[in-house]
Amino acid sequence: MNKPLRRVAIFCGLLVLALLLRDNWLQFVRADELNSHADNKRVQIERYATERGNIIVDGKPITGSVDSGGTYYKYKRTYVNGPMWAPVTGYASQVYDANFIEKIEDGILTGNDDRLFFDRTLAMFTGEKKKGGDVVTTLNGAAQKAAFEGLGKNTGAVVAIEPSTGKILAMASTPSYDPSTIAGSNDEKAWVSLNESKAKPMQNRALREIYPPGSVFKVVTAAAALEAGKVTDIDAATETPEGWKIPLSTVPMKNHSGGCANASLNEALRISCNSVFAKLGDDVGVEKMNEMAEKFGFNAEQFTPVRSAASVYDKKADRGGNALSSIGQFNTATTPLQMAMVTAAIANDGKLMKPYMIDQLRAPNLDVIKQNEPEQLSQPVSPENAQKLQAMMENVVAKGTGSRADLNMDGVKVGGKTGTAQHGEKNAKRPYAWFISYAKTDQGSPVAVAVIVEDAEGVGREDISGGGLAAPIAKAVMKAVLKSRG
Amino acid sequence: MSVVTNTTTIGAIEAPSRRNTELALLGFAVAIPVFAYLNVGLALDGEVPAGMLGYGLGLALLATVAHLVVRKWAPYADPLLLPLATLLNGMGLVLIWRLDQSPRLIATSMRLYKSFSPDAPAQMMYSAIGIAMLAAVLLLLKDHRVLQRYTYISMMAALVLLLLPLVPGLGSAVYGAKIWINVAGFSIQPGEFAKIVLAVFFSGYLMVKRDALALASRRFMGLYLPRGRDLGPILTIWAVSLLILIFENDLGTSLLFFGMFVIMLYVATERTSWIVMGLLMSVAGAVGVASFASHVQARVDAWADPFSCAEKVAACDQMTEVLMSFGSGGILGTGLGQGNSDLIGFAANSDFIFATVGEELGLAGVMVFLLLYGLIIERGIRTALAARDPFGKLLAMGLSGAFALQIFVVAGGVMGLIPLTGMTMPFLAYGGSSVIANWALIGILIRISDTARRPAPAPAPNPDAEMTQVVRP
């Protein structure tokens, strides 16, 4: 009986071998795939197993962690002034993943990032509890507060940038939501109602929504005209008839104010003449217009590092379309961030800095593991032309439609541009009120702001205007930045 | 040292008993779980666990008792079997104790039953009963050949054990499988004991019938086909295993019994045709049952693509959790007490305990455990090879074959190699019947190995010895 016995022994050996091979397949070959599988709760459990690091503004955390005592996820995220900061922090939920900074810097915040390996190892030996690192933002608490409170109950967004560096100082979006309400594991009701709400409180309007810019786009057209040499003297009359006929169409371009016939570029920007800018855009041509828009950042997503939607300038527009695009209508659409970038570039003498909102990544022991340095994105306009644009924009605030943004502070010059963007079929919807502006002192410009108010409650349709609704918000933000800089 | 007792040519050279080797190995088998216990305590609470002394001493006491029994009543037994089983049992206790600490499992238990009681103390008690069972086997069964007398009684006993769960009022279905019976507040899995009793029956039956089965056959297409009347018992076993599968929803047990029978038949008759027939019959049975039993179908679906059916069927959900548990362990594992294998849910410490090994001890740990089981199987088959009587050979082979199949079916099921069957890892998993029955199985193997390795009795003194005695210096 020994011969079959030996064979059975071999068979049993093969059974064990098959198990060993299968185990190697599972735990070696497929380990990573299984470990990062979407259904694997361990990623979430790990994310909340220890106290998460914080997002810091002005040296103070705007996030926190509490021991929720849950059997799956130990720590729960809390937010200080959640609705105000939501467009910056995003949310970190025990069941619904995370977004924005909470998601992008998850590795640092959880402490699992490779760059924190040394800290983790050290903590292991010293017996300290594992803790996440901090994300230090570039934001300015006072400016954010001014922006958020300025928007109030209106639907809209504000982005403020430091022109010389590209640091984002404020980023508000209303209506907003409190990420604390969806941070736990039993927040399905809040999650569903937030997602189904018609007001779209979770939409980050500052980065992810694109709007027709309307008249605020005229500064881009002005920049293109200057750069293309179509205009050299901003005070010289342009040959624009009142009621300039849109090419390929029989409709004449209408102006909302009088005095646009042959108005100079300076005057045309001050009173926001459609005909002058439409004609200028047509003179510059779709190619040059598009080139200028793209130098300012259009047609590309921006990474702050939170991704923004790409603003649009239609490079395939025909002559008529291009003329309409040049006054911020037709297919032109932009994020508030994009308009803040345009303003910042002009205020920074033509240099466009890459916008960013994460200044430093810090290890739990406060060691800086990454410091973001300002980075130039492009030079859309020459310094001379930028100064001409500044002169025109300052004129808008001093004597034109943007007077409500004037800070009336000594040594501070303010430049701006209003916009009232028509949209909807036959422009039937309530128009958007835009305002872009910057403040400038002897040391250069500390702040450039873009404000959009989508819908102002209780304001009649005829009264919606960038100068009326949006300019005061921009003014408050600029004031807050100037004050905080002493 | 070998002692020459007389000068006849048939010198009975005493084999070394290896009892001290066994004792040394038992030291490791106790020390390793104690360290593992310490490890879990430090990982979970950051302090030396309070029960460490109790469990350590308990395990050491059990090992000592078992060793003394073996030393006294089976002095020539294989020295590896007892330490291997002790190590696995000890590690099982640690893993169960570790899962007892899981807040998630406690919360689940509170939600489902409004109460929670840790399983480790119960498992400790079952282990003690298991060791007592081993002692009883060695004490009462002085010679395994005695079991031959009970061939047909064993058959009846096995059938009764297997069919008990189907008796109304006695059997209880838990999570789909009807393999438990309730007696005086205890639930018992008769199938675990039936495994041993059936092996006894097969050995007795095949030892008597093996010549008839091997030789009285017709040759057909290169295969030796048995006569119809010899086919009877085989078909009976096949039918019984199908009945278990259909009425008790127990794929694992039916596979185990039929597989064990085929292996023993092959060993007894030395005819390959039995293997072919056995495979054909099991395939036919499996396909037949799988085509109409929803329970089996669900298991097969869960095996084929667990991630796609996870939302529909509970079995799939468990399967994905088990696979992710293994995946998360990686090569070295998370460390005892630091994994999340408790995500598997209620069966984490019974059917799926191997996933905890996978997650917390990693690929390295799982391979060690598989090799430990492999060693038990190897020592069992070695015992079969060494056994001098055909009955002992068949019994040792049957028991080790059943053990090997059970390991394969359970570990293969848990690791997604084959469909999940719902049996438990011997010694590792929580469950009284399993621990006690497997200790009895080890006891019988120890008894057979003792008989096999015992030196032949000294031949009767040779009357001529006096005359030719060598003068020693």
User: How confident is the model over B65-103, as pLDDT tens digits?
Assistant: 999 999 999 999 999 999 999 999 999 999 999 999 888
- Say whether residue B327 is in contact with chain A using an 8 A CB cutoff: yes
- Say whether residue B373 is in contact with chain A using an 8 A CB cutoff: yes
Closest Cα to residue A378, out of A185, A259, A227? A227
**CB burial string B295-304: b at 16+ within 10 A, e below:** bbebbbbbbe
Pick the more confident residue, B348 or B314. Answer: B348
pLDDT at residue B223 in the model: 66
Whether residue B381 and residue A8 make contact (CB cut-off 8 A), yes or no, is yes
Least confident segment among A416-425, B7-16, B180-189, B397-406? B7-16
Whether residue A22 and residue B417 make contact (CB cut-off 8 A), yes or no, is yes
CB A155 within 8 A of CB A455: yes
Question: What is the mean pLDDT of the segment spanning B399-410?
Answer: 94
Query: How distant is the Cα of B339 from the closest Cα of chain A, in angstroms?
Result: 9
Whether residue A23 and residue B367 make contact (CB cut-off 8 A), yes or no, is yes
Q: Mean pLDDT of all residues in chain B?
A: 85
Whether residue A12 and residue B401 make contact (CB cut-off 8 A), yes or no, is yes
Query: How distant is the Cα of A10 from the closest Cα of chain B, in angstroms?
Result: 10
pLDDT at residue B365 in the model: 95
Residue A381: pLDDT band with limits 50, 70, 90: very high
pLDDT at residue B11 in the model: 47
pLDDT at residue A464 in the model: 67
d(CA A195, CA A209): 16
Residue B392: pLDDT band with limits 50, 70, 90: very high
Query: How distant is the Cα of A104 from the closest Cα of chain B, in angstroms?
Result: 23
Angle between helices B251-269 and B190-215 (to 10 degrees): 30
Q: Which amino acid does the sequence have at B232?
A: G
Is the pLDDT at A486 greater than 80, yes or no?
no
- Say whether residue A71 is in contact with chain B using an 8 A CB cutoff: yes
Question: What is the mean pLDDT of the segment spanning A462-479?
Answer: 80
In A123-188, which ranges are E strands?
A: 134-137, 155-162, 167-174
Pull the structure tokens for residue A235.
């005070």
Whether residue A15 and residue B407 make contact (CB cut-off 8 A), yes or no, is yes
CA A379 to mean position of chain CA atoms: 20
B 228-257 residues with CB below 8 A of A? none
Residue A215 falls in the annotated catalytic set? yes
Question: What is the mean pLDDT of the segment spanning B323-343?
Answer: 89
d(CA A150, CA A183): 27
Residue B89's Cβ-side half-sphere holds a number of Cα atoms within 13 Å equal to 37
Is the pLDDT at A3 greater than 50, yes or no?
yes
Is the pLDDT at A323 greater than 80, yes or no?
yes
Is the pLDDT at A194 greater than 70, yes or no?
yes
Q: For A261-286, what is each residue's pLDDT tens digit?
A: 888 888 888 888 888 888 888 888 88
Q: Nearest chain B residue to A2 by CA: give it.
A: B385
Is the pLDDT at A241 greater than 90, yes or no?
no
Least confident segment among A96-105, B1-10, B324-333? B1-10
d(CA B310, CA B325): 15
Closest Cα to residue B294, out of B276, B310, B313? B313
pLDDT at residue B124 in the model: 93
Is the pLDDT at B12 greater than 60, yes or no?
no
Whether residue B400 and residue A12 make contact (CB cut-off 8 A), yes or no, is yes
pLDDT at residue A471 in the model: 84
> Other CB atoms closer than 10 Å to residue B427's CB: what's the count?
25
Interface test with B, best of A7, A23, A39, A72 (most B CBs within 10 A): A23
Compute φ and ψ for A261, nearest 5 degrees: -65, 120
pLDDT at residue B141 in the model: 92
- List, in sequence order, every residue forming a beta bridge with B224; answer none if it has no partner: B219
CB A376 within 8 A of CB A354: yes
**How many residues in chain A?**
486
Compute φ and ψ for A127, nearest 5 degrees: 80, 15
- Say whether residue A6 is in contact with chain B using an 8 A CB cutoff: yes
In A46-193, which ranges are E strands?
A: 55-57, 60-61, 63-67, 75-79, 134-137, 155-162, 167-174
Three-state DSSP at A27 gives: helix
Nearest to A19 among B307, B331, B412 (CB): B412
- Say whether residue B405 is in contact with chain A using an 8 A CB cutoff: yes
Q: What is the ipTM of this complex?
A: 0.91
Q: For B257-274, what is each residue's pLDDT tens digit?
A: 888 988 998 998 888 887
Residue B128: pLDDT band with limits 50, 70, 90: very high
pLDDT at residue B313 in the model: 63
pLDDT at residue B197 in the model: 92
Residue contacts between A and B (CB atoms, under 8 Å): 131
Q: For B209-259, what is each residue's pLDDT tens digit?
A: 888 877 776 777 766 666 777 777 767 777 887 787 777 777 778 888 888
> Other CB atoms closer than 10 Å to residue B104's CB: what's the count?
18
Q: For B140-177, what is each residue's pLDDT tens digit?
A: 999 999 999 998 899 889 888 888 887 777 776 666 66
- Which of A176, A215, A308, A465 is an active site residue? A215
- Say whether residue B268 is in contact with chain A using an 8 A CB cutoff: yes
pTM over 0.80: no
Interface test with A, best of B45, B99, B264, B366 (most A CBs within 10 A): B366
Q: For A445-455, what is each residue's pLDDT tens digit?
A: 889 999 998 87
Between the CA of residue B353 and those of A345, A455, B92, B212, B411, what are the distances in Å? 63, 60, 8, 44, 10
Q: Mean pLDDT of all residues in chain A?
A: 86
- Say whether residue B270 is in contact with chain A using an 8 A CB cutoff: yes
d(CA A29, CA A172): 46
CB A380 within 8 A of CB A292: yes
> Other CB atoms closer than 10 Å to residue B115's CB: what's the count?
7
d(CA B428, CA B85): 10
The pLDDT > 90 percentage for chain A reads 26
pLDDT at residue B4 in the model: 47
Whether residue B363 and residue A15 make contact (CB cut-off 8 A), yes or no, is no
Is the pLDDT at B287 greater than 70, yes or no?
yes
- Say whether residue B404 is in contact with chain A using an 8 A CB cutoff: yes
Question: What is the mean pLDDT of the segment spanning A176-195?
Answer: 88
Q: For A331-365, what is each residue's pLDDT tens digit?
A: 889 999 999 999 999 999 889 999 999 999 998 88
Closest Cα to residue B411, out of B402, B399, B424? B424
Least confident segment among A454-463, B115-124, B177-186? A454-463
d(CA B299, CA A322): 64
A 20-39 residues with CB below 8 A of B? 20, 22-24, 26-28, 30-35, 37, 39
Closest Cα to residue A293, out of A337, A329, A260, A332? A332
- Say whether residue A67 is in contact with chain B using an 8 A CB cutoff: no
Residues of B in contact with A35 (CB under 8 A): 324, 327-328, 330
Residue A26: pLDDT band with limits 50, 70, 90: very high
Closest Cα to residue A338, out of A219, A431, A227, A206? A206
Residues of A in contact with B340 (CB under 8 A): 41-42, 45
Closest Cα to residue A345, out of A415, A266, A418, A420? A415
Is the pLDDT at B15 greater than 70, yes or no?
no
Is the pLDDT at A294 greater than 80, yes or no?
yes
- Say whether residue B407 is in contact with chain A using an 8 A CB cutoff: yes
